[in-house]
Amino acid sequence: MFAGTLFALAAGLMWGLVFVAPLMLPDYPAALLTVGRYLAFGLIALPLAAIDWRDLRALTRTDWLEAAKLSAIGNFLYYLCLSAAIQRAGGPLPTVIIGTLPVVIAICSNLRDYRRDGHLPWARLAPSLLLIASGIALVNQVELAQLGAQGTATQVRRYAEGGLLAVAAVACWTWYPIRNADWLRAHKDRSPRAWATAQGLVTLPMALVGLALLPLLQATGLLAAEFALPLGPRPWAFIGLMLAVGLCASWLGTLCWNEASQRLPTSLVGQLIVFETLAALAYAFMLRGEPPQALTLAGIALLVAGVIWALRVRPVVTSS
């Protein structure tokens, strides 16, 4: 339990970086940010594959197909929706919506995987879910109110679009950890590191195809005609940030999450995605150069309390 929690914490610290990348490069389209991130992830995975060559050779065609599905939905589609949501609605709204993931995943996996992982009693799980949900609401209440008070009609429309895209991102990342945990729990003899590398390898051809399609998107008007493909107006900042996010958030974050998924019940590890929300908020405040308000600190305290409460809940084995 302790080791699994530490791995989940490390994954959250890594994944929090993906929330600030669109804010650091606001003039870059979400499609280019997505392609850049996973092109870097794929290139980083190539030398890492030499370390796990034997484990990768043991993967079957079905395993590689599963890795491709996980990468397409949990990586590409998720980050495309998330980065577009952040650029349209700013940081607070996507953060509060993505922050509901611990609650959504815990409920879905508790309904779906109770025979495998045991059933977490709803009466004992409810307080932790309520604490997490309340904490997320408090953390974002002030910023959402400020954003809503100064919005024009165009800003409100983009704000609503960002909200819908964030909901789509939640759907992608509700599916991903549950499906990923299915494979890891069914293959306990396999290396979580090699599985993370495998997902990185399959993203490389996807990213190359996406890179080739960017000029077509620009020709059809889906990307601004004046945007300088492929590296944009700040090429070195773009390359450096994509490499950092590709290594830390994509490979290292996935590795830590896989380690946590093999050690903890899916319904519990799903709640620990709250660490990603906390990390994203911390990075955002550091980027702004201002401390969080008292209401935000109260929300963070509720989030942490909810996680601690959840760690004390033990699954009850259900006889089949």
Q: What pLDDT, in 10s, does the model give residues 69-97?
A: 999 999 899 999 999 998 888 777 787 78
Sign of CA dihedral 74, 75, 77, 83: positive
Domain with 115 in it? 2-311
Q: What is the pLDDT of residue 89?
A: 80
Q: What is the pLDDT of residue 311?
A: 66
Q: Which two tokens stand for residue 139?
A: 């953390």
- Asked, for residue 292, whether it belongs to a domain, the answer is yes
How far apart are alpha carbons 97 and 164 in whole angstroms?
10
- Asked, for residue 95, whether it belongs to a domain, the answer is yes
- Asked, for residue 319, whether it belongs to a domain, the answer is no
Q: What pLDDT, in 10s, does the model give residues 237-254?
A: 999 898 888 788 877 887
- Asked, for residue 316, whether it belongs to a domain, the answer is no
Tell me the average confidence (pLDDT) per consecutive run of 10 residues in the chain, 320 residues long: 87 87 87 89 86 90 94 91 87 78 76 68 81 81 68 72 91 90 84 86 91 84 73 88 84 83 75 80 80 83 79 65
How many independent structural domains does the chain possess? Answer: 1
- Asked, for residue 190, whether it belongs to a domain, the answer is yes
Q: What is the pLDDT of residue 230?
A: 80
- Asked, for residue 237, whether it belongs to a domain, the answer is yes
| CA angle at 20 for the pair 238 and 287, rounded to the nearest 5° | 105
What are the two backbone dihedrals, phi and then psi, of residue 223, each rounded to the nearest 5 degrees? -120, 150
Q: What is the pLDDT of residue 149?
A: 65
pTM for this model (two decimals): 0.80
Q: What is the pLDDT of residue 206?
A: 92
Q: How far is CA 47 from CA 171, 198, 210, in A?
A: 32, 12, 22
Q: What is the pLDDT of residue 69?
A: 94
Sign of CA dihedral 278, 281, 287, 290: negative
b/e 129-154 (16+ beta carbons within 10 angstroms → b): bebbbbbbebbbbbbbeebeeeeeee
Q: What is the pLDDT of residue 200?
A: 85
Q: What is the pLDDT of residue 247?
A: 82
Q: Of 181, 176, 133, give the one whose Cα is nearest residue 310.
A: 133
Q: What is the pLDDT of residue 168?
A: 95
- Asked, for residue 23, whether it belongs to a domain, the answer is yes
Compute the CA torsion angle 56, 61, 65, 68 (nearest 10 deg).
30
Q: What is the pLDDT of residue 188?
A: 82
- DSSP symbols for 229-244: TTT-S-HHHHHHHHHH
Q: What is the pLDDT of residue 208?
A: 92
Q: What is the pLDDT of residue 73?
A: 94
- Asked, for residue 317, whether it belongs to a domain, the answer is no
